């Protein structure tokens, strides 16, 4: 579930509000968006991918709230990790352009 919106990183672009498929966030006038309906989060990680400044963290647990804090996550270097793996963001190579999946299908016969 979505756990963290970083107050220090968020630039209030409200992209997460726009892209969330299950309407978890609410826009706030003169402020950064809030997690308004956490239990509606489907743990699809799309908000993290669309956040241009790596201000969001979705925990892998889809059915329970973990209560992790931004400082803990920053220490472990977990903020923005998914976007990096997918290769989205300036100067990165999208995973879609890699041969991995092709090789995988050749090896596994899928």
Write down the least CB distance from residue 31 to another protein, Å.
16
- Which contiguous run of DSSP H or E holds residue 47? helix 46-50
User: Which parts of 71-100 interact with another protein (CB under 8 A)?
Assistant: 78, 81-82, 85-86, 88, 94-100
Write down the least CB distance from residue 24 to another protein, Å.
10
Total chain residues near another protein (CB under 8 A): 43
Sign of the CA dihedral with 89 first, then 54, 56, and 29 last: negative
DSSP string across 80-100: THHHHHHT-STT---GGGSSH
Query: Looking at the chain, how many residues does it have?
Result: 110
Write down the least CB distance from residue 8 to another protein, Å.
21
SS3 110: coil
Among 11, 28, 38, 62, indicate the residue that binds another protein (CB under 8 A): 62
21 binds another protein, rule: CB under 8 A: yes
The candidate with the shortest Cα–Cα distance to 58, out of 27, 22, 96, is: 22
Residues near another protein (CB under 8 A): 17-23, 27, 37, 40, 42-46, 49-50, 59-64, 78, 81-82, 85-86, 88, 94-105, 108, 110
């Amino acid at each position: 579930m979505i756990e963290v919106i970083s107050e220090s990183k968020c630039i209030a672009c409200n992209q997460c509000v726009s892209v969330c498929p299950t309407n978890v966030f609410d826009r706030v006038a003169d402020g950064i968006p809030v997690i308004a309906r956490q239990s509606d989060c489907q743990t699809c990680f799309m908000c993290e991918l669309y956040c241009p400044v790596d201000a969001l963290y979705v925990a892998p647990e889809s059915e329970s709230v973990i209560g992790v804090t931004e400082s803990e996550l920053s220490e472990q270097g977990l903020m923005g990790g998914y976007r990096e793996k997918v290769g989205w963001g300036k100067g990165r190579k999208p995973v879609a352009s890699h041969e991995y999946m092709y090789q995988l299908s050749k090896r596994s016969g899928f």
